[in-house]
Amino acid sequence: MKTKQLLTCILFLLFCFVYFEANAQQAVSFEYDTNGQMTKRTLTVKRELIEQDSVKEELLFTKIQIYPNPTSTGLNITHSFVEEMPENMKLYDMNGKLLYTQNKTIENHEWLELGEYEAGIYLLQMTYQGKPLQWKILKQ
């Protein structure tokens, strides 16, 4: 009897893992240099499109890349959004003070100059489909 309960429990956990993995909305990947320092963080956003006129459209994968991080001069910000682009970009210090804002659509490649800011940790925030996306940025 215990074996049957254990098997049922394992199958349930496996089902839950497969279900949640298949329905994950975001994934984050990192790249590191030879010293083990993180150089790039990539956020992959998965979203499903609705059916229109009985035509099923496949899933879209969109990516945002922000590099180098840590940085001493500035950040490259690239994305590969197909339809909608991020709506704005803001940079905050760790006290919550707004240091920079860009209230226009973010192009496929942007450069954010950080040379004038002191060394420290900053929070970069973008809005995509009304939801904030955030990154911690280390300025050296």
Q: Is 120 part of any domain?
A: yes
Question: Any idea what the CATH number is for the domain that residue 75 is in?
Answer: 2.60.40
Which pLDDT does position 73 carry in this prediction? Answer: 93
Beta-bridged to residue 135, according to DSSP, are: 124
Q: Is 38 part of any domain?
A: yes
| Structural domain that includes position 124 | 25-139
Structure pTM?
0.58
Q: Is 106 part of any domain?
A: yes
Query: pLDDT at residue 70 above 80?
Result: yes
pLDDT digits (tens, 9 = 90+) for 103-116: 877 778 889 999 99
Q: Is 19 part of any domain?
A: no
| Percent of the chain predicted with pLDDT > 70 | 70
